[in-house]
């Protein structure tokens, strides 16, 4: 299991243990920020449930049973998430890191897509404008520019841009 997945599990488990934090974390994250689609699905469910009442393990499991259980990796998996949260006091830190990871994945995906789209001799202006738009959208509202993840996102973008220019 990757460290990113462990972090996602800790956040989701913490939100199940302390559902009062869901609105605050939802202001920072989207389901797309999660690497595992099932984690994104569970986060979306927690946010949806928090709009009506504070979610907890029992209510989350009941709701998952009403839906497609495999979209969330099953009841047993969801029940185990609370064991992976060392402290609900660190949920904002986990969310910030997950958000940064999600943005870096978005930039890397955009870079790969542009690399494939640029054929030798093709006009580069539209591709570069598209790439810059993705990078700007992915780095706007970065939680903390002094965090290592922020510099990494800039490096990914710069490296991708340099490679695209080299192909032109």
Range 102-127 average pLDDT: 75
Predicted pLDDT at 130: 67
Give burial (CB, 10 Å; 0-12/13-18/19+) of 45. buried
Using the predicted structure, report yes or no on whether residue 120 has a pLDDT greater than 90. Answer: no
Q: State yes or no: pLDDT of 165 exceeds 50.
A: yes
Instruction: Give pTM, 2 decimals.
Output: 0.72
Choose the weakest-confidence range: 20-29, 143-152, 156-165: 143-152
64: nearest Cα among 16, 23, 31, 11: 16
User: Which pLDDT value is given to residue 30?
Assistant: 95
**Residue listed under structure tokens 């939680």:** 143
Is a pLDDT exceeding 90 seen at residue 163? no
What is the mean pLDDT of the segment spanning 75-81? 94
**For residue 13, pLDDT beyond 70:** yes
- 148: pLDDT strictly greater than 50: no
pLDDT, averaged across the chain: 82
Residue 121 has pLDDT above 80, yes or no: no
Q: What pLDDT does 115 receive? A: 74
């Amino acid at each position: 299991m990757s460290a990113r997945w462990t972090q996602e599990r800790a956040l989701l488990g913490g939100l199940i243990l302390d559902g009062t934090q869901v609105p605050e974390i939802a202001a920072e994250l989207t389901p797309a920020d999660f690497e595992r689609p099932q984690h994104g699905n569970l986060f979306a469910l927690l946010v949806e449930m928090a709009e009506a009442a504070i979610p907890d393990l029992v209510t989350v499991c009941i709701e998952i049973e009403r839906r497609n259980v495999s979209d969330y990796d099953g009841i047993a998996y969801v029940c185990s998430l609370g064991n992976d949260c060392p402290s609900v006091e660190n949920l904002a830190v986990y969310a910030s890191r997950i958000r940064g990871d999600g943005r870096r994945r978005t930039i890397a995906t955009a870079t790969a897509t542009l690399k494939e789209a640029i054929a030798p001799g093709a006009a580069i202006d539209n591709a570069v404008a598209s790439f810059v738009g993705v990078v700007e959208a992915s780095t706007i509202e970065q939680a903390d520019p002094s965090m290592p993840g922020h510099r990494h996102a800039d490096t990914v973008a710069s490296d991708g841009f340099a490679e695209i220019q080299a192909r032109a």
